[in-house]
Amino acid sequence: MEGSGMVLLLVPVLLVSQHAAGLQVEVFEGEESVLLPCWVPVNVSRGSTSVWDRDDFRIPTVHVREPDGDYLKDQNQRYAGRTSMMEDALQTGDLSLTLSRPTFTDSGTFTCTVRRLGEDLHSVNVDLQVKEPPSSWPWVLLGLVVLLILLVVPAVIWYRLRKKKLTAVVPPETVEIREGVKSVLLPFKTSRGLPQDVKVEWTRLDPSRGNITIHVFENGRSEHQENIPEGQTKMKADLLSSGDLSLTLRTPQLKDSGDYQCVVSRGGDLLRKTVTLKVKESLMEEVEVADREENVRLPFNTAAHLPQDAKVVWKRTDRTGTVYEFQNGQNQSDGQNPEYRDRTEMNPDALGTRDLTLTLKDPSQRDSGVFICTVYSTDGKILGRKVVTLTVKVYKVEKVSVEEGTRSVVLPFRTAPRLLSGKVTVEWRLADVDDMMLYTYDRGHHRPTQDQTYGGHTKMNEDLLTTGDLSLTLSDLRLTQSVYTCSIHNEGEEILQQKVVVLIVRALQVEVVEVTKGEPSVSLPFKIPLPVDEDIKVEWTHPGSRQPEVITFENGEVQVSKWNRVYRRRTKMDGDLLRTGDLSLVLKRPCVADNGLYKCMVYKSQEVQQQKMVTLSVREHMESSFNDRIPSFKRRRTASGSPHEHSLLA
């Protein structure tokens, strides 16, 4: 081949393969560096320490990476200045080690170990073989062929590891509470930025009955699940911006114990976490009820297995006799205190369901006290015990909260219809303004106040004796923080029942919504309580823009002006908002020019009922370079836009 002009190139060859003991890497001596691969899940590497070492050396340490950086104090001197790892190795899970200037003496087994709090979480062996470079071109060609074949294996391995890393499995967590608490938080917080179109789904894992979806957040809002009582679960409205995906579970009971899983998905799964909830039996519980309520429940649920011949005894510490004695499926009334005869009951299958709750009818102030429930076996052994403190109050207190600018409100009060006879009197008063009478129902006659301010603006239900609904509606008024009382009197002017309603007027809140330019859509949230009046008008505007009118809902239809070129095909509202109460505005393809304040007004008969303001912030992509943003910046500066548009650039 002499004189042919052919130039022989010595091509460096790196061979990577996988075998039962780990990974094998081959490299020619004289190469600039070699990469020893090591990949682990992000939840394993984050917050841990990565150690590379060789067990065949007296000083085995090759390289150590801790959460705050490299630790090379104990490094074997033959590797000093020759090892390095990616700066974000512990954050990405890519713990691969770069070894510079490999020589024959570097041949051997390197071990990559991930440790946290002294415990080894993951370990990978990499066998490095440093070989002499090939002396002639046939060996080079052979090496290239082998390279093409063998690279398929690590490529497949990398793809599978990469795919696995896409779903970051957050370490599981256990939450323990006592039964009787008002709510429990199943925690899940992430620092990862979540796109606007992700789906967050909480599921209860139950292999025997099938997994049950209990809460879903999708399209910027929570969706009610038919198999879960409304209000039983709750997530934060700003979870996408805050990264707090925790779920609040209200009034948890023993039966709610189990595993709950949260999955964040966007086409495929992105994040997953399992939370184990353990609800323990409460040894003592407090119960409050208003005087003259129809009944009150003294709760006692147990996880213990109870024999069918067990005896359940409810007693009061300051009374003789029993409150209720249950055995063989019925009440044993021989020793029952006459005060509780015909006023107490339990579930006939209480021992089977393990629900030993006692229902007390017609509670009064005399019933306030300490109740103790004890479960006995036939030989007198105590199988379980629960203490319940009952407080019967003369009146109930409830807080009603509305936003500033709201014009109508319902002051709620429901009672048992049996307390209402044709001779009762019901009085609503404004207690903090000279005890002003607002409304009187007296023996079948409705008498609203004729006061200059409240006259014509108060209303009660016509069939209140039948329904027991004594609520007072204040409409078309400028509401202020006030205290209202409702009293039920009998013929002798004795107060049968009373309720206090505290009206709190909140300052109008301005919510901030952030989105990255290029997202398909963004939701400006606004939900109002149900029911929603059919004759309301909803209007979204963008004050200060060239075309401030964005979208309107009126006469049961969503309307966008055909002359509005800015928002005509980019805005959407829920056409079924009268049923859902969701007045949110969806803006498609948000851009920087959409930044600013958006205002939603709810009208009824030209009067403002509710309103909300939302500030939209559309961010540029962080990964785009300054040079990439210069053209769009120049276009915005030179465009003949409104003063509002120029203020956004300032």
Q: What does the pLDDT read at residue 134? A: 63
**For 182-217, what is each residue's pLDDT tens digit?**
789 999 988 766 788 889 999 998 877 778 899 999
Q: Give the number of C-alpha atoms closer than 13 A to the C-alpha of residue 552, restricted to the C-beta side.
A: 12
Q: What is the pLDDT of residues 541-579, one digit of tens each?
A: 988 777 788 999 988 888 887 777 778 788 999 988 888
Choose between 459 and 545: higher pLDDT: 459
Out of 226, 261, 280, pick the residue that ends a domain: 280
Which pLDDT score, from 0 to 100, does residue 579 have? 85
CB 600 within 8 A of CB 614: yes
Please give the structure tokens belonging to residue 449: 């106040």
Q: How confident is the model at residue 646 (pLDDT cuts 50, 70, 90)?
A: very low
**pLDDT tens-digit readout, 366-390:** 888 889 999 999 898 988 888 898 9
Q: What percent of the chain has pLDDT over 90?
A: 26
Contact 485, 438 (CB under 8 A): no
Binning the chain into helix, strand and coil, the percentages to the nearest 5 are 15, 45, 40
The pLDDT of residue 624 is above 70: no
- E-strand spans in 351-422? 358-361, 369-376, 382-393, 395-403, 409-411
Is the domain of 70 the same as that of 155? yes
Are 571 and 584 in contact by the 8 Å Cβ rule? The answer is: no
Amino acid at 231: G
> Residue 452 in 3-state DSSP?
coil
449 pLDDT above the threshold of 60: yes
Distances (CA, A) of 497 to 37, 43, 344, 642: 76, 58, 22, 62
From CA 148, how far away is CA 137, in angstroms rounded?
Answer: 17
Helices and strands: H and E segment counts in the chain: 10, 47
Domain co-membership, 70 together with 162: yes
DSSP conformation letters of 335-368: TB-GGGTTTEE--TTHHHHTB--EEEES--GGG-
Residues 545, 546, 548, 549: is their CA dihedral positive or negative? Answer: negative
Domain that holds residue 565: 510-623
Q: Which of 450, 502, 441 is nearest to 469 (CA)?
A: 441
Judge if 288 and 269 occupy the same domain: no
More confident call, 633 vs 361 = 361
Task: For residue 7, tell me if it sits in a domain.
Answer: no
One domain, residues 145 and 253: no
Query: What's the rounded Cα separation, in Å, for the pair 111 and 123?
Result: 7
**pLDDT beyond 70 at 99:** yes
Mean pLDDT across 637-647: 41
* Best CA proximity match to 527, nearest among 511, 514, 542: 511
- Binned at pLDDT 50, 70 and 90, residue 425 comes out as very high
Is 103 a member of any domain? yes
Task: Give the other-Cβ count within 10 Å of 32's Cβ.
Answer: 9
In this model, does residue 364 exceed pLDDT 70?
Answer: yes
Q: Which residue has the higher pLDDT, 78 or 547?
A: 78
User: What burial letters (b/e) apply to 496-529, b meaning 16+ CB within 10 Å?
Assistant: bbbbbbbbebeeeeeeebebbeeeebbbbbbbbe
How distant, in Å, are the alpha carbons of 84, 109, 582 from that of 62?
10, 11, 60
Which residues, including other chains, have CB under 8 Å from residue 19's CB and lie 6 or more apart?
Answer: none
Q: Are strands 425-430 and 436-442 parallel, antiparallel or unpaired?
A: antiparallel
Residue 326's CB is within 10 A of a number of other CB atoms, namely 25
Q: Which of 280, 309, 331 is the last residue of a domain?
A: 280
pLDDT at site 633: 44
CB 19 within 8 A of CB 125: no
Structural domain total, the chain: 5
Chain-wide mean pLDDT for the chain? 81
Contact 511, 613 (CB under 8 A): yes
Mean pLDDT of the 77-88 span = 90
For residues 173 and 267, membership in a common domain is answered with yes
Examine residue 540 and state whether it is found in any structural domain, yes or no.
yes
Domain co-membership, 288 together with 389: yes
Q: Which two tokens stand for residue 100?
A: 């510079």
Quickly count: other Cβ atoms within 10 Å of residue 399's Cβ.
Answer: 9
Say what the pLDDT of residue 232 is: 87
pLDDT band for position 636 (cuts 50, 70, 90)? very low
CA distance 361 to 415: 14
Residues 238 and 261 occupy one common structural domain: yes
Give the bridge partners for 475, in sequence order: none
> What's the mean pLDDT in 500-518?
82
Higher-confidence position of 138 and 337: 337
Range from 265-279, 347-361, 444-458, 558-572 carrying the lowest mean pLDDT? 558-572
Do 338 and 272 share a structural domain?
no
Residues 528 and 577 in one domain: yes
Distance between CA atoms of residues 508 and 487, nearest Å: 32
Look at residue 9 and tell me whether its pLDDT is greater than 90.
no
Tally the C-alpha atoms within 13 A of residue 597's C-alpha that lie toward its C-beta.
Answer: 9
What's the pLDDT at 119? 81
Question: Does 561 reside within a domain?
Answer: yes
Calpha distance 592→621 (Å, rounded):
11
pLDDT band at 180 (very low <50, low <70, confident <90, very high): confident
Q: How confident is the model at residue 625 (pLDDT cuts 50, 70, 90)?
A: very low
Q: Which residue has the higher pLDDT, 585 or 161?
A: 585
Answer yes or no: is 592 within a domain. yes
Is the backbone peptide bond immediately before 171 cis, with ω within 30 degrees of 0? Answer: no
Per-residue pLDDT at 323 exceeds 70: yes
| Same domain, yes or no: 399 and 389 | no
Residue 629 has pLDDT above 50, yes or no: no
Residues 50 and 128 in one domain: yes
The answer to the question of residue 10 being in a domain is no
SS3 call for 638:
helix
The bridge status of strand 168-169 relative to strand 268-280 is parallel
Identify which has the larger pLDDT, 266 or 188: 188
Residue 285 structure tokens = 């519980």
- 518 and 607 both lie in a single domain: yes
pLDDT score for 105: 83
- Measured in degrees and rounded to the nearest 5, phi and psi for residue 110 equal -100, 140
Q: pTM for this structure? A: 0.39
pLDDT of residue 644: 38
Q: Is residue 156 part of a domain?
A: yes
CA distance 649 to 449: 55
Q: Which amino acid is at 126?
A: V
pLDDT at 153: 55
Looking at residue 30, what is its pLDDT? 84
> What are the phi and psi torsion angles at 265 (to 5°)?
-135, 155
Choose from 370-374, 490-494, 623-627 the range with maximum mean pLDDT. Answer: 370-374
Q: Is residue 5 part of a domain?
A: no
More confident residue, 411 or 332: 411
Report the CATH number at residue 30. Answer: 2.60.40.10
Q: Taking residues 42-56, what's their average pLDDT?
A: 88
E runs forming strands in 544-625: 549-554, 557-559, 571-572, 585-588, 596-604, 607-619
Residue-level pLDDT at 374: 92
Domain end among 280, 295, 320: 280
pLDDT value at position 100? 93
pLDDT of residue 262: 93
